[in-house]
Amino acid sequence: MGCIFCKIVRGEIPCSKVFENEKFFAFLDIGPINKGHTLVIPKKHYKNLFDMPEEELKGYMEVIQKVSKAVMKGVDADGVNINMSNESAAGQVVMHAHVHIIPRIKGDGLKLWPQGKYKEGEMQTVRDKIVNYL
């Protein structure tokens, strides 16, 4: 398969590995937002969150928490953003599920996304549409 992250898991492409267990793998992002920016991936190829079976999720979040703590300490960060882009409309470029752990330093100047506004009554309508699918 041509997936770049599958190749990293198999050791066919070099990476700066920070963690590995039976099911998950973590390595430094090659284009860090801040130094220490780390990606955590399932070793098995899933396209994104929607593809991952429920039984994988607890273990995934445990690894994300464990690696986040190490990143925080390792680069002396003040916080982390944990981000996962799902589908290209959300900015997903590599189509193998991955969570970004982005270390944040006080005053690093990174801006959060802009906040919008709902019109009168719109919030309730949107909420009702979502709840329909749960």
**Positions marked active-site:** 98
Q: Which one of Zn ion, ligand AMP, none is in contact with 6 (Cβ closer than 5 to 8 A by kind)?
A: Zn ion
**Position 24 contacts Zn ion (CB under 5 A):** no
DSSP run (H or E) holding 5: helix 4-10
Strands (E), 30-132: 38-42, 79-83, 99-104
Tokens 């070099």, residue? 14
Rg of the chain (C-alpha set): 17
**Position 91 contacts ligand AMP (CB under 6 A):** yes
**Position 97 contacts ligand AMP (CB under 6 A):** no
Interface with ligand AMP in residues 2-41 (CB under 6 A): 4, 13, 15, 29-31
Among 34, 48, 81, 92, binds ligand AMP (CB under 6 A): 92
Report whether 40 contacts 65 (CB < 8 A): no
Task: Output 1 or 30, the one with its CB closest to ligand AMP.
Answer: 30
Residue 122 C-beta-side C-alpha neighbours within 13 Å: 5
Q: Which residues bind ligand AMP (CB under 6 A)?
A: 4, 13, 15, 29-31, 85, 91-94
